[in-house]
């Protein structure tokens, strides 16, 4: 979707519409909101990983000075979940606590300290149950069930899909890599902790301000759980201090502040502590993966087989989708001859995992891209060359039935090859220094909404004022990626106004059209299409009115940055004058646009999961330096080339690439969500968990490839999640190039590297079957 015309706004490095609000500290985030008579809420959490709640006694708590109201799970017992098929969460656990940190009760008090003190005065009688911490044990265990109503043991979701004859494919192979990988869990750690304010007013309307990236789903679930009509519930997302998927579930605090406000008739705020953010989690799933990748003599990927055990934590969250994504999103940018995957997500008594940036597909991508290098090495094939040879192409279907439209992967490979000096330097850097490469593919939104319906996934409303002001109502959630600015850029491009004359009213379910939220890299693509549609309707009116005035054909009229004109003539007027002419001719001016789901995906059960209207592609090259004495490795530079279709604003796209590379690097280098055998987190603080500082983060070069997607707005596709994937396997592959060992477990601690270096050269013991290895790995970890 694009004009042949010259672009005035799209593609330029413009400022964000709200950048200076953020720069000056004026932007209001959830915890900056203070309402008259506001109470403060604190949530009591389970000290046990698995325990039945027998009785909660609030009598001592209610006597504490400042306490106004208390809340327990049985008052709002309706089960919910972001995926409507797996509602297994309660705002506060009414029957069982399922992890250390699970929410059990809440208090509202005159101030935060009083609420905090009061928590200690709540007496909960628990019947402690044996916890299941290790996923392999949870898979085997039939007697202890984390969710009593699970159909099968502790299995959250099992998916097995097969495409083509995998066994016959392996028979044709000249080289096979068969390896077990482990991807450690990690969490988002947005710098803003979760916060919500509920206000139930005297007229029976509930307003919840929340640091959520899914206001629409929070709206639906609040209504259901609190038994209020949807029309009486309003969800407002203020400025949001980072999310990365960590704020894309409804959370206990949203229900707690709402219900406590209904009970007290006063506004109630709840702000998570940093420790509570670690409990809320929904981060990267730990995955144990066996991958078998087979190449033909010419390096063609004949067959891929994977078996994946996913540690889901205590609740479903998006887990149904995770189990699918672990297999469904791997089928590009390379052509597979045959493919089979078997993924199982199990419940464990740990904080629930969910969708962290690159949901479900970062882990198998790591395993696959390393296994691909292992197999290519056996054939003596260059890692870039083997990726080129298997390029799937444009306008093709993947083996699992997903339609790929534009595909700039080869250009991504070319760019990182050139920038890294690959041809001249690969294999010539000496022991201890190496180059690695990896590729990936990601979705630009999911073709289907999480709850089936025929309505649009994204919508936009635009109001034109005779002052020249353009007010755009957008339901999209800006989580830092810039979705508040995208509508201003696109509408301004379409109707010729100055983007700075656009006011973008955002993410307020009472004021803005429904947008399903900031997840699956869907926003720019879907919101963008809605904007273009609305803009073109308005331009038709503006250009018709101006054409009538000037007596020229409407098609000759152009608009740019606040001026409406006919090129190569003296005919010119301000945008404001043009709007006045249009308003006089057509009446009050406004338009809507929407993005509707299209029918896509494979014709089999689960074939729509992973179906996207467009896919992005990425290639990274990494240069590492390894100290073989200490095992310490450093990244000299990352070259990241990403096909985003069209960069609507290159500065913002680069920012997404850079942020993604950083986050992937962090997972490779240091981040891990690990627990004691009791289920207690080993260090739920930023200091103990450790995320990279400016000194830890490698220098990186972001490069944009524009393949111009035929469906995307001005050709645009996603940029926010895809570029996270390749850096992790590229580092592993670079370390192999440097010192000859394969790192197959994250994070790549120097200790692991050193151990492998010392083992190198020793004969390897026969490899036991994957189930035994998975269970052995689990036991040694616990």
Cβ 430 to other proteins shortest distance, Å: 25
Residue 723 tokens read as 């570029």
Give the Å distances, CA to CA, from 545 to 30, 469, 554, 579: 44, 18, 8, 9
336/332 Cα distance (integer angstroms): 8
Residue 584 interacts with other proteins (CB under 8 A): yes or no: no
Residue 24 interacts with other proteins (CB under 8 A): yes or no: yes
Residue 396 interacts with other proteins (CB under 8 A): yes or no: no
Residue 97 interacts with other proteins (CB under 8 A): yes or no: no
Is 559 or 713 the residue whose CB approaches other proteins more closely? Answer: 559
Strand pairing of 301-311 and 339-346? Answer: parallel
Please list, in sequence order, all residues whose beta carbon lies within 8 angstroms of the beta carbon of residue 762, skipping any fewer than 6 positions away: none
Strands (E), 170-300: 175-183, 195-200, 206-210, 233-236, 268-271, 287-295
Residue 523 interacts with other proteins (CB under 8 A): yes or no: no
In 3-state terms the chain splits into helix, strand, coil percentages (rounded to 5) of 30, 25, 45
| Binding span for other proteins by CB under 8 A among 133-141, 256-264, 392-400, 557-565 | 557-565
Q: Please say whether the beta carbons of 70 and 124 come within 8 A.
A: no
Is 19 or 590 the residue whose CB approaches other proteins more closely? Answer: 19
Is 110 or 165 the residue whose CB approaches other proteins more closely? Answer: 110
**Binding-site size, other proteins (CB under 8 A):** 71
574/628 Cα distance (integer angstroms): 67
Is 295 or 727 the residue whose CB approaches other proteins more closely? Answer: 727
240/29 Cα distance (integer angstroms): 6
Of residues 156-215, those binding other proteins (CB under 8 A): 188-193
Which of 63, 111, 201, 779 is the binder for other proteins (CB under 8 A)? 111
Q: Which residues pair with 643 in a beta bridge?
A: 617, 705
Is 703 or 757 the residue whose CB approaches other proteins more closely? Answer: 703
| Binding span for other proteins by CB under 8 A among 95-103, 378-386, 659-667, 710-718 | 659-667
Binding mask 465-484 for other proteins (x = CB under 8 A): --------------xxxx--
Binding mask 232-271 for other proteins (x = CB under 8 A): -------xxxxxx---------------------------
Is 497 or 614 the residue whose CB approaches other proteins more closely? Answer: 497
CA torsion angle for 1, 716, 238, 198 (degrees, to 10)? 70
Is 326 or 464 the residue whose CB approaches other proteins more closely? Answer: 464
Which of 3, 13, 677, 779 is the binder for other proteins (CB under 8 A)? 13
Cβ 575 to other proteins shortest distance, Å: 9
Give the Å distances, CA to CA, from 759 to 426, 629, 725, 742, 767: 25, 14, 29, 12, 15
Q: Please say whether the beta carbons of 438 and 620 come within 8 A.
A: yes
| Binding span for other proteins by CB under 8 A among 7-15, 228-236, 458-466, 766-774 | 7-15
Residue 445 tokens read as 């939104």
Is 240 or 462 the residue whose CB approaches other proteins more closely? Answer: 240
Cβ 563 to other proteins shortest distance, Å: 6
Is 47 or 242 the residue whose CB approaches other proteins more closely? Answer: 242
b/e 524-549 (16+ beta carbons within 10 angstroms → b) = bbbbbbbbbbbbebbbebbbbbbbee
Cβ 21 to other proteins shortest distance, Å: 8
| Binding span for other proteins by CB under 8 A among 26-34, 80-88, 154-162, 320-328 | 26-34
Residue 375 interacts with other proteins (CB under 8 A): yes or no: no
647/705 Cα distance (integer angstroms): 8
| Binding span for other proteins by CB under 8 A among 31-39, 95-103, 607-615, 765-773 | 31-39
Q: In the chain, what is the straight-line distance between the N-terminal and C-terminal CA atoms, in Å?
A: 52
Of residues 433-462, those binding other proteins (CB under 8 A): none
Residue with tokens 């969250």: 317
Residue 694 interacts with other proteins (CB under 8 A): yes or no: yes
Count other C-beta atoms under 10 Å from residue 396's C-beta.
13
Cβ 16 to other proteins shortest distance, Å: 7
Residue with tokens 């609305």: 534
Residue 687 tokens read as 């200091």
Residue 65 interacts with other proteins (CB under 8 A): yes or no: yes
Cβ 567 to other proteins shortest distance, Å: 9
Q: Which residues pair with 434 in a beta bridge?
A: 624
Residue 658 interacts with other proteins (CB under 8 A): yes or no: yes
Residue 26 interacts with other proteins (CB under 8 A): yes or no: yes
Cβ 116 to other proteins shortest distance, Å: 12
Q: Please say whether the beta carbons of 269 and 33 come within 8 A.
A: yes
Q: Which residues pair with 200 in a beta bridge?
A: 206
Cβ 637 to other proteins shortest distance, Å: 12
The DSSP call for residue 619 is: E
Count other C-beta atoms under 10 Å from residue 739's C-beta.
22
Residue 100 interacts with other proteins (CB under 8 A): yes or no: no
Cβ 697 to other proteins shortest distance, Å: 5
Which of 87, 164, 606, 655 is the binder for other proteins (CB under 8 A)? 655
């Amino acid at each position: 979707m694009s004009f042949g015309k010259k672009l005035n706004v799209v593609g330029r490095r413009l400022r964000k519409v709200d950048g200076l609000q953020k720069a000056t500290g004026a932007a209001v985030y959830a915890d900056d909101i203070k309402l008259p008579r506001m109470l403060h809420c604190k949530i009591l959490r389970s000290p046990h990983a698995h325990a039945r709640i027998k009785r909660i006694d609030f009598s001592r708590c209610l006597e504490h000075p400042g306490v106004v109201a208390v809340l327990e799970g049985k008052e709002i017992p309706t089960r919910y979940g972001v995926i409507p098929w797996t509602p297994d969460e309660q705002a506060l656990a009414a029957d069982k606590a399922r992890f250390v940190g699970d929410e059990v009760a809440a208090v509202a008090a005159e101030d935060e300290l009083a609420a905090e003190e009061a928590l200690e005065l709540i007496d909960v009688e628990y019947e402690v149950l044996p916890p299941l911490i290790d996923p392999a044990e949870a898979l085997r265990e039939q007697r202890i069930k984390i969710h009593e109503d699970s159909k099968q043991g502790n299995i959250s979701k099992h998916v097995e899909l097969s495409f083509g004859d995998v066994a016959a494919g392996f028979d044709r192979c000249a080289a096979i890599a068969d390896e077990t990988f482990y991807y450690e869990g990690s969490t988002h750690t947005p710098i803003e902790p979760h916060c919500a304010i509920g206000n139930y007013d005297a007229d029976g309307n509930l307003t919840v301000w929340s640091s959520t990236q899914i206001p629409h789903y929070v709206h639906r679930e609040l209504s259901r759980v609190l038994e209020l009509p949807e029309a009486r519930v309003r969800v407002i997302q203020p400025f949001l201090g980072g999310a990365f998927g960590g704020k894309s579930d409804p959370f206990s605090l949203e229900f707690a502040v709402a219900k406590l406000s209904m009970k007290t008739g006063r506004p109630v705020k709840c702000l998570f502590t940093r420790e509570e953010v670690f409990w809320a989690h929904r981060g990267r799933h730990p995955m144990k993966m066996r991958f078998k990748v087979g190449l033909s003599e010419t390096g063609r990927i004949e067959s891929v087989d994977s078996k994946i055990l996913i540690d889901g934590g205590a609740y479903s969250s998006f887990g149904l989708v995770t189990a699918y994504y672990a297999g469904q999103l791997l089928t590009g940018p390379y052509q597979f001859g045959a493919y089979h995957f078997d993924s199982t997500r199990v419940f464990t008594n740990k904080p629930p995992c969910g969708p962290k940036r690159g949901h479900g597909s970062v882990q198998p991508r790591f395993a696959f891209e390393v296994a691909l290098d292992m197999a290519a090495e056996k054939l003596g094939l260059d890692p870039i060359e083997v990726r080129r040879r298997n390029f799937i192409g444009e306008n093709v279907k993947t083996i699992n039935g997903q339609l790929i439209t534009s595909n700039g992967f080869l250009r991504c490979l070319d760019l990182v090859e050139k920038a890294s000096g690959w041809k001249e330097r690969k294999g010539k850097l000496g022991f201890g220094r190496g180059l690695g490469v990896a590729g990936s593919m990601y979705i630009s939104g999911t073709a289907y909404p999480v709850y089936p319906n025929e309505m649009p996934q994204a919508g936009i409303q635009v109001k034109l004022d005779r002052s020249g002001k353009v007010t755009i109502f957008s339901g999209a959630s800006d989580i830092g990626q810039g979705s508040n600015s995208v509508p201003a850029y696109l509408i301004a491009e379409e109707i010729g106004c100055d983007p700075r004359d656009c006011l973008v009213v955002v993410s307020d379910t009472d004021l803005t059209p429904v947008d399903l939220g900031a997840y699956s890299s869907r926003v720019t693509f879907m919101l963008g299409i809605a904007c273009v549609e609305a803009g073109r309707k308005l331009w038709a009116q503006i250009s018709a009115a101006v054409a009538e005035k000037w007596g020229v054909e409407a098609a000759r009229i152009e608009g740019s940055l606040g001026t409406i004109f006919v090129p190569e003539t003296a005919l010119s007027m301000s945008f404001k004058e043009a709007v006045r002419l249009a308003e006089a001719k057509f009446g009050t001016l406004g338009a809507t646009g929407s993005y509707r789901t299209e029918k896509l995906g494979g014709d089999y059960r689960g074939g729509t999961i992973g179906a996207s209207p467009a896919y992005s592609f990425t290639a990274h090259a990494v240069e590492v330096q390894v100290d073989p004495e200490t095992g310490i490795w450093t990244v000299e530079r990352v070259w990241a080339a990403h096909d985003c279709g069209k960069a609507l604003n290159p500065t913002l796209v680069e920012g997404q690439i850079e942020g993604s590379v950083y986050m992937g690097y962090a997972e490779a280098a240091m981040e891990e969500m690990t627990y004691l055998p009791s289920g207690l987190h080993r260090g739920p603080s930023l200091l103990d968990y450790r995320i990279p500082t400016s000194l830890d983060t490698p220098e990186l070069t972001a490069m944009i490839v524009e393949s111009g997607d035929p469906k995307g707005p001005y050709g645009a596709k996603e940029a926010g999640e895809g570029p996270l994937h390749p850096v992790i396997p590229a580092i592993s592959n670079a370390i192999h190039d440097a010192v000859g060992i394969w790192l197959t477990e994250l994070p790549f601690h120097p200790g692991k590297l050193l151990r492998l270096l010392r083992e190198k050269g020793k004969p390897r013991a026969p490899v036991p079957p994957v189930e035994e290895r998975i269970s052995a790995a689990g036991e040694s970890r616990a």
